[in-house]
Amino acid sequence: MNTQQGGRWQELGAPGGIEAYVHRPEGEVRGAVVVCPELYGVNADAKAVCAELAGLGYVALAPDFYWRDRRRTGLGYSAEEREDGLVLMRALDRDQLVADAAEALAAARAWADGRGVAFVGTSMGGHIAVRAATELRFELAAVLYPGWLLNSGFPLVGPVPPLETAERIAANGVYLLGFCGDLDHILPPQEWQEAERKLTEAEVEHELVTYPGVRHGFAADRPADHDAAATADAWRRIHAALAERL
């Protein structure tokens, strides 16, 4: 079992630009993972994911996508903090997100020790990972209950949702692994099925997994939504994909 150093904040590019919470393994580096969090920012859950991945040998970095409006945001799950996160999320711009994802990818490539790079994202972060796959070349996008794949409504989505250009994911060679519960109110079954159709038509190498009786946010530490069995299965599959593709 790899031991790991503690995580710390680090600038990814030019001084004063985007930062990420970075957790590095000790010993052999097996690749790098860009961890894209929910609307709550780089909070305790996101940092725990980074620590777990570092323990498996991956350099894990969680970018602070809110940095232009508020730095190092890490919100809890109260109703008030959720509203705070929604305000920050609504201020995100699609093109700026792609630029930030490109900065994160460049850093990840530099730290991956010649191995591959994955984007792993939940909810808003899952959307960011899929959007990144339409614009950037990397090995794996693993997304849990990603939002707004086929509908717009937020500036972060832009006028064209990411799966409307799914052929770009295929062209970039990104393998897409996705997870969703069939009780998800943000990504309902019919939209998940349409995502499957779009990916298949675009010849994107992918696997979409559906969990019966499971809600949006099942992998987060929120009692109302958490599903331990689905979370364990999803992360088992993600770990296997990382080992195979990075």
Sequence spans of domains, the chain: 8-245
Q: By the 8 A CB rule, do 85 and 33 touch?
A: no
- Top-level class of domain 8-245: alpha beta
Single out the residue of 165, 209, 219, 217 nearest to residue 49, CA to CA. Answer: 219
pLDDT tier, 133 (very low <50, low <70, confident <90, very high otherwise) = very high
pLDDT tier, 6 (very low <50, low <70, confident <90, very high otherwise) = confident
pLDDT 10s digits, 59-109: 999 999 999 999 999 999 999 999 999 999 999 999 999 999 999 999 999
Please check the confidence at residue 138 and state whether its pLDDT lies above 60: yes
8: left (phi over 0), alpha (psi -120 to 50) or beta: beta
Q: By the 8 A CB rule, do 163 and 198 touch?
A: yes
Whole-number pLDDT of residue 35: 98
Q: Are strands 175-181 and 140-144 parallel, antiparallel or unpaired?
A: parallel
pTM: 0.96
Which residues does 207 contact at the CB level (< 8 Å), separation at least 6?
A: 176, 177, 178
pLDDT tier, 2 (very low <50, low <70, confident <90, very high otherwise) = very low
pLDDT 10s digits, 29-45: 999 999 999 999 999 99
Whole-number pLDDT of residue 190: 96
Query: Phi then psi for 126, rounded to 5 degrees?
Result: -65, -40
Whole-number pLDDT of residue 153: 78
Please check the confidence at residue 10 and state whether its pLDDT lies above 60: yes
Please check the confidence at residue 159 and state whether its pLDDT lies above 70: yes
Whole-number pLDDT of residue 1: 33
pLDDT tier, 152 (very low <50, low <70, confident <90, very high otherwise) = confident
